[in-house]
A and B are shown apart, each in its own frame.
Chain A
């Protein structure tokens, strides 16, 4: 348990041992399809594919997937509603093609979110970051991102402990106390992060860190069958959507 449900799911997924490049291709393809194909039936097909693949072969717990969708869902609901309500001289009203517009907008967004979530719940960040190197992102940037990824769990654990202690001492009993506690909490987490960074740096300097943080990336070989299935599936999805639409 690391404290972030999506990250936990990614480490526990049966697709964890698959090549991150393969999964990037699949999810990336689905994301592009979700964006470019007509909402009916393209978005529906993309959304269904992503959910079925995640809950089926990749064995992502349905609860984790469902809970993770809540964030984008709230935004999509508010954003979609706002876009199809018109404010005219005679007050609020629906846009002429409100239902179709809302369906298309929400369809694209939900399908896209499901496709990104498929990648997120099957591929830990630690596997994706080396892929950034292959996309020619500078090594220094990838290293900063890697330290960020590793440190954020340490800081999250600290944050929870401090907050628990504050709550036990009535730190969140009133609005005023809540603000004071939140400020102290943020300051404690920031000073802890500096302290951690300094101590890690001293430890690494003692071990002769001169050329950055070298780690041996895990070798996760690409699967031809997976790539072939991805290509065939995406092609079928595109042709079916275009044929029906």
Chain B
């Protein structure tokens, strides 16, 4: 659910762009440092960006009958950490705007705040919290995916409500309207994406354990599994 080009008034478009800027600049600095220290990271980060983009091409069967596509920001935040996701998310949103006509250029800032900043941070927070209270990798990933999706959806609804307040009930009324309209697709999508995340990480634990260990998601010494 990307905000389409021209949907936000100019002042809001500029405001959200300014709000997104520090996170994107921080992410860019982080990426620039990583690439300077280890040039080969350029390819790994590019691959991560391409994966995030391609993930949106996976159609997810929804419980309500329609099909939606996952946003993947929760998985990205767990795999690559939120600061890096702020930059990768921005690149992916730019590509989606220019390759799929999904989102826009003046609304890029607002979409970056929802998809590449709030979503990944909320998802990562949920992941860390789940791990801290003793949850394993898979419950953590489920929480990250669901929370990232829901946080993104609530943020987008809030952005729309601020820009288009209701004639009678104002911003609060508009927020309720946008939340309930988009809940029809976004809440089932969030649960579906959580499930997809669990299946994804289960497959990764079986087939790509060394990579997960290198990313620090699994302890190096596996338990009796082998």
Contacts and interface: CB of A to CB of B under 8 A. Distances in A.
A147 interface: yes
A154 to B, nearest CB: 8
Contacts of B160: 79, 82-83
Contacts of A155: 50-51, 54
Contact of A140 (B35, B100, B166): B35
B42 A212 contact: yes
Interface in B177-220: 177-178, 181-182, 192, 195-196, 198-204, 207-208, 211
Contacts of B88: 144, 148
Interface string B10-25: 1001000000000000
B53 to A, nearest CB: 5
Interface string B82-119: 00000110011011011111101110000000000000
A68 B58 contact: no
Contacts of A186: 55, 58, 196, 199-200, 203
A108 B106 CA distance: 12
B211 A194 contact: yes
B200 A95 contact: no
A237 interface: no
Interface in A187-242: 187-191, 193-194, 196-198, 200-201, 204-205, 209-213
B40 A205 contact: yes
Most buried by B among A6, A151, A172, A188: A151
A78 B39 CA distance: 45
Contacts, number: 262
Report whether over half of chain A's contact residues are helix, strand or loop; otherwise say mixed. helix
A161 interface: no
A48 interface: no
B100 A148 contact: no
A125 B4 contact: no
B101 A113 contact: yes
Given A31-B106, A146-B46, A183-B198, A87 B169 contact: yes
A33 to B, nearest CB: 10
Contacts of B166: 83, 86-87, 95
Interface in A45-92: 68-69, 71-72, 75-76, 78-79, 82-83, 85-88
B28 A141 contact: yes
B200 A151 contact: no
A204 B45 CA distance: 15
Contact of A187 (B35, B49, B59, B204): B204
**Chain B contact residues (Cβ within 8 angstroms of A): what range?**
35 or more
B70 to A, nearest CB: 8
A189 B54 contact: yes
B25 to A, nearest CB: 10
Nearest to B40: A201
A179 to B, nearest CB: 6
Contacts of B94: 145
B208 A187 contact: yes
Contacts of B136: none
Contact of A179 (B92, B106, B174, B196): B196
A113 B104 contact: yes
Contact of A151 (B47, B92, B173, B192): B47
Interface in B48-93: 48-51, 53-55, 57-61, 87-88, 91-92
Given A209-B40, A211-B39, 12 more contacts: A43-B6, A69-B101, A72-B104, A79-B164, A82-B160, A96-B167, A147-B49, A148-B50, A150-B46, A155-B51, A183-B198, A184-B203
The 7 residue pairs across chains A and B that have the minimum distance between CB atoms: A183-B199, A147-B46, A112-B6, A187-B203, A148-B49, A151-B50, A112-B5
Interface of B: 1-7, 9-10, 13, 28, 31-32, 35-36, 39-40, 42-51, 53-55, 57-61, 87-88, 91-92, 94-95, 97-102, 104-106, 160, 164, 166-169, 173-174, 176-178, 181-182, 192, 195-196, 198-204, 207-208, 211
Interface of A: 4, 6-7, 28, 31, 34-36, 43, 68-69, 71-72, 75-76, 78-79, 82-83, 85-88, 95-97, 105, 108-113, 115-117, 119-120, 125, 128, 137-138, 140-141, 143-152, 154-156, 159, 172, 175, 178-180, 182-191, 193-194, 196-198, 200-201, 204-205, 209-213
